[in-house]
Structure 1
Amino acid sequence: MTVHAYPSFSRWYAEDHRAPYVRTRKSQGAVLDLLEIERPAGDCSGPALPDLILCQDALGGMRVKGNLGGTNFDETSERGGFFLIAPNFANRIVVETRHRIRALAFPLAHWQRLLDEATDARFSFDFRELHSGTFSAPSIQSAFQQLWCLCDEEGTASRLMAQAAGCHIIAELCRISGAPLAPAKGGLAPWVKRRSLELMRARLAEDISLDELAAEAQLSPCHFARMFKHSVGVPPRVYLTQLRIEKACELLEATDLPVTEIAFDVGYSSNQVLARVFQKHRRMSPSLYRRSVRDASRTTA
Structure 2
Amino acid sequence: MTVPTYSSFVEWFCEGPFAQYVRTIKSTGGFLNLMETAMPAVEISDPAVPDLVLHYDLRGGFGVNADLGSGRFTATTRPGDFLLAAPNFTNSISVDSFHHIRSIAFPVAHWRRLLEDPADRASSLDFGALHRGTFTSSRIRTAQRQLWRLCDEEGAPSRLLAQAAGCEILAELCHLAGSPFASARGGLAPWAERRCIDLMQARLADDIGLDELAAEARLSPFHFARMFKQSVGVPPRAYLMRLRVEKACTLLETTDLSVTDIAHEVGYSSNQVLARVFVKHQRMSPTDYRRAVRDPVRQTSLQRLGTTISASETPQ
Smaller-chain TM-score bracket: 0.5 to 0.7
Residues 1:119 and 1:112: Cα distance change in structure 2 (over 3 Å)? farther
Letter in 1 for 2:113: R
Q: The residue matched to 1:79 in structure 2 has which SS?
A: coil
Q: The residue matched to 2:116 in structure 1 has which SS?
A: helix
Letter in 1 for 2:107: P
Residues 1:119 and 1:33: Cα distance change in structure 2 (over 3 Å)? farther
TM-score (norm 1): 0.56
Contact 1:82-1:134 within 8 A present in 2 as well:
yes
Q: Using the alignment, how far apart are the partners of 1:106 and 1:41 within structure 2?
A: 26
Question: 2:146 corresponds to which residue?
Answer: 146
Q: The residue matched to 1:93 in structure 2 has which SS?
A: strand
Residues 1:54 and 1:169: Cα distance change in structure 2 (over 3 Å)? same
Deviations 1:62-83 (A, max 9, x none): 2101110112110001101000
Question: 1:14 corresponds to which residue?
Answer: 14
TM-score (norm 2): 0.53
Q: Root-mean-square deviation (CA), in Å?
A: 2.1
Q: CA deviation at 1:44?
A: 2.2
Gaps of 5+ in 2: 183-316
Q: 1:57-96 alignment to 2 at 5 Å? A: 57-96=57-96
Q: Using the alignment, how far apart are the partners of 1:117 and 1:9 within structure 2?
A: 27
Letter in 1 for 2:177: S
Structure possessing the higher radius of gyration over alpha carbons: 1
Residues 1:155 and 1:99: Cα distance change in structure 2 (over 3 Å)? closer
Deviations 1:211-255 (A, max 9, x none): xxxxxxxxxxxxxxxxxxxxxxxxxxxxxxxxxxxxxxxxxxxxx
Residues 1:106 and 1:53: Cα distance change in structure 2 (over 3 Å)? same
Q: CA deviation at 1:118?
A: 6.5
Q: 1:150-169 alignment to 2 at 5 Å? A: 150-152=150-152, 153=154, 158-169=158-169
Question: 1:49 corresponds to which residue?
Answer: 49
Question: 1:115 corresponds to which residue?
Answer: 115
Q: 1:201-216 alignment to 2 at 5 Å? A: none
Count of aligned residue pairs for this structure pair: 179
Q: CA deviation at 1:154?
A: 5.2
The reply on whether 1:39 has 2:39 as its aligned counterpart is yes
Q: Using the alignment, how far apart are the partners of 2:117 and 2:12 within structure 1?
A: 29
Question: 1:174 corresponds to which residue?
Answer: 174
Deviations 1:138-185 (A, max 9, x none): 1100000111123342589x4202211110000000111113447xxx
Letter in 2 for 1:94: S
Q: The residue matched to 2:45 in structure 1 has which SS?
A: coil
Letter in 1 for 2:47: P
Contact 1:151-1:162 within 8 A present in 2 as well:
no
Contact 1:140-1:169 within 8 A present in 2 as well:
yes
Question: 1:25 corresponds to which residue?
Answer: 25
Deviations 1:26-70 (A, max 9, x none): 112211101101111020220111000000111011210111011
Q: The residue matched to 1:90 in structure 2 has which SS?
A: coil
Q: 1:125-136 alignment to 2 at 5 Å? A: 125-136=125-136
Gaps of 5+ in 1: 183-301
Contact 2:52-2:107 within 8 A present in 1 as well:
yes
Contact 2:27-2:156 within 8 A present in 1 as well:
no
Contact 1:36-1:100 within 8 A present in 2 as well:
yes
Residues 1:142 and 1:83: Cα distance change in structure 2 (over 3 Å)? same
The reply on whether 1:103 has 2:103 as its aligned counterpart is yes
Q: CA deviation at 1:120?
A: 5.5
Q: CA deviation at 1:117?
A: 4.3
Q: The residue matched to 1:52 in structure 2 has which SS?
A: strand
Question: 1:202 corresponds to which residue?
Answer: none
Q: Using the alignment, how far apart are the partners of 1:27 and 1:168 within structure 2?
A: 18
The reply on whether 1:5 has 2:5 as its aligned counterpart is yes
Contact 1:52-1:87 within 8 A present in 2 as well:
yes
Q: The residue matched to 1:66 in structure 2 has which SS?
A: strand
Question: 1:217 corresponds to which residue?
Answer: none
Residues 1:112 and 1:61: Cα distance change in structure 2 (over 3 Å)? same
Residues 1:101 and 1:118: Cα distance change in structure 2 (over 3 Å)? farther
Letter in 2 for 1:19: A
Letter in 1 for 2:128: R
Question: 2:209 corresponds to which residue?
Answer: none
Deviations 1:251-290 (A, max 9, x none): xxxxxxxxxxxxxxxxxxxxxxxxxxxxxxxxxxxxxxxx
